[in-house]
Chain A
Amino acid sequence: MTGPDSFRSLFFEEAEDLLGTLSDEVARLKGGDRDSEIVHSIFRAVHSIKGGAGAFALDRLVGFAHRFETVLDAVRSDQLPLTAELLRIVERSVDHLSVLVEAARNDRDTDTTLTDAAVAVLNGCLDAIGQDKAPADVLQPEAAPAFTFTPLALNLDPIEVEPTRTVTIRFRPYPGLYDNGHEPTLLIAHLAELGTLQTELDLSALPDWSSPDITEPAFAWVIRMATNAKREAIEEIFEFVAGLCDLSIEEEHDIPAMPDLPSPSPMSQDESTPATAPFVMTETTPASATDGLGPRPTLRVDLDRIERLFNAVGELIINQSMIAQRVDDLQMHHDTDMSSHVESYRLLARDIQEAVMAIRAQPVKPLFQRMSRIVREAAEGTGKQAQLVMLGESTEVDKTVVERLADPLTHMVRNSVDHGLESPERRLAAGKDPVGTIWLSAAHRSGSVIITIRDDGAGLDREKVLRVAVTKGLVPAGTELSEAEIDNLIFQPGFSTASATSLLSGRGVGLDVVRTAVQALGGRVNITSRPGKGTEFTITLPLTLAVLDGMLISVGGTSMIVPIAAVLETIRPLPGDVEQIGPDERLLSIRGRYVPIIDLAETLGFPRAEADDPAMLLLLVETEARGTCALLVDRVHDQRQVVIKGLEGNYGQVTGVSAATVLGDGQIALILDPDGIAAQSHPIPSQTSGQRVAALP
């Protein structure tokens, strides 16, 4: 692990952080903040990158960083006024710096002409002060109210100046709040003094009235507040009930709403899933608290160590459920010490699990920041004007998910600029701002991560989409499709609307690649579009790749897990719904369609439990190989979260099985891979499947 290689990778890791800082600081400058510390911070970051790059003889990077640094130095010593034009140059230079760092990291060469051009621009700035040192220069007369860098800049609080914004407050009192004599209505009345409220009472925690012991307070409130008040002022109201309630204060940035779109911004749907609301709160509160506070102290840890901890916690969870099951089996009296200890053990185990998962979790911010560069590049390449608005970038997602999302997201963002947004002329003609906007947002919702990419462009041209699909033979001519079905055609392999192929996204990679990549992460992607208003892509991903929502079934006396994501429905068909085709193939007739029935026991080579049970139990699953299939199973038990255990470590891959898990009784259950099953049940003549079947006793 040590040696030049590890130092090198350390440098790139640090460079990545520094580039993140650079984007942040430039964004602050663009937002109008003129604190002189920002320029210093930018200078330091560029300087650090230059220093590190020098140690690894990355000459081009050093050369460029040096030039950039010189310009920044001139800015911080007040020789160069920070005009809008210069700010743009700084922004471009940061972009170029990231390109160079990335190229150096992958040992790739970059286009020297680009670097030369970028250096030339920087030189241009320096020439300007070389020739005449007067602050009003040729570069940009527009920003002439020249800036002097007083350390006590007055414009320190841009939030204050902003127009009214919406703050969403979620408030769920604990029993202690009432015990201490606090009164929620008084708190809400206080809030009302700060702005206009829209209060919603959340009764979801209300127990059944027949339940004998109502001891827990069941009320919670969701308060939407239009206000100018500072966050601190709102927090102050809740100061005395801190720790006595779940409280989250979310500030919604001032986004022009797209009222016609059916799916509103992710956050506003949270109340539909109150069960997970506390989880969402714990996520958002510390996250928003860190905003603007700069980087927190961090510790770099070897991934292997975390992996080990992760495995141990998986064990702990399984062990806990085993113990709980045992204690349950003992049928002890309910209020013995034992059961309360078991309950605390359960809570503790979940806490540890969440904490460990949080270690692997990373904010999507660096990923999103990269996208702002993509938007700029894409806009430049297509002659469009675009800005990127990021929301919820402190949302945390599993590290692997963040890494593997980079490519699909890049593709989709490019796509949004290239195909989504119209040209400035057309936008003006349609009465829109010539600068198109792409919104990129991330949020947690009921155990999933939702990432949306939305544009305010023209929306999908459904006629054209359908026409292209027909031309490409994806759908037969004359097919009647619903709007949503047409929209989803763009995810079909081989589909590309690039009638006028553009350099950018029309490079043969379709959105089907995006869909495949997202599905590989256990997620799904959807599209909604409104003509003239824009298009929104929604990516839904699991929070982690280490646990899975599964359905426990049994087949041939063996318990197995089917991933919930693959299951469409469970069916007990009537005898007339099953048709025999050929000697051993059966079809299920469902809502006018025929789907093949796959006998799971037979496909897996397990003994059949009961000979032709008339009451068949079928699991409808979606597979890539054969479309919708019906899996014949013996029993469906329940749904549960399982910890995924790989089979590859000690054994090898098994067709039709993706992994395994340990059940509460310590038994191992295999996690089925419906795709593998479907492919296997219809064996495509291949050497392996042939041999395996032949080897059966």
Chain B
Amino acid sequence: MSTAIFGAHVVSGPPAPEWLAKPEYRRATINMVLGAQLLEPLLRDLRAAHPEVLSEDIGLVLQSQTGELEATVEFLRGWSQMGIARPLLFQSSLHNATAGFLAIQYAIKGPVISTSPSFFSEEQALEMAQVLLDEKQCRFCLVVSLDAWPAIKGLEGGSGFSASYASAVVLAREPGGLGRRLNSIEMKPEARPVFTEPQWSHRPSSRNALFNLASALLSSETQKVETQKEEGRSVITWSGA
């Protein structure tokens, strides 16, 4: 069954400075700010086009490889070096913290699922969203993929974030929006070696199917696009309406 694509958005690199400076994000993690920067325009467009949409009609599937790595590392550092367990860092360290944060910020009351694909298949979030839509668990489903890797001194030097990115598409049960449809996600068994090293310096956008899909939707007029991920793990196709 194909699914309509309502919208798409990408953030390549860290959050924009004006987003980081917002007072309401003072205690937010980088993942949370990236997610907010992604979803605000998408939800504004969605609610403008469908003013009848209820919070309960909107679902969210958020995938992140490493989750809230920044908060996790800082929590453990504080606990091990000073014996201080900071509650805010703990609640922000949970893998679904950004999903919960975005649900609160944007009143998302349908199913909210967080997932970690671990470099296996970045398409799993898209497939989950399709399943939720086909089963009428929501009318619209935001599919978000984001990660921010803090630079860890001694591994690569420097400070801040060695890599970060975020992308999102909005899938819908009904036609409209971008006028394109997500047709199929085909998962292929493949004997690719399991990921064995953290990929500190690589930018995942080049191999993240959701990022590629969102980027193509925003920039391409192509009626039918197919992408085969490197090493043939999975195939995703989408096309014009």
| A-B complex is real | no
